[in-house]
Amino acid sequence: MTATPGEILELVNAERAKSGCPALKENAQLAKAAQPFAEDASKNNLDDHTGSDGSSPEQRIAAAGYVDSGVCISGTYVVQVFGPPA
């Protein structure tokens, strides 16, 4: 099964709604950072957040022009702080 990013977002938001959480929305700059890494990870069988070029998520996000609002948006950070999903 292949799902588009929009379809995945719909599924995630449906589950969030069941728990009373607000919906997430796509951010074009973050998508610009994520897509090349997703392709790199698929092509090179990467199983962590480091790109084949050694880049970190934060580096890719900054390179895409995203201006951090002071809240870390890295998924790894979220899991470290709040724990894995229940």
Residue in 72, 58, 64 with CA at minimum distance from that of residue 33: 64
Q: Please state, in angstroms and rounded to a whole number, the distance separating the CA atoms of residues 22 and 32.
A: 23
pLDDT in tens, 31-69: 888 889 989 999 999 888 899 999 998 888 888 888 766
pLDDT in tens, 22-33: 888 888 888 888
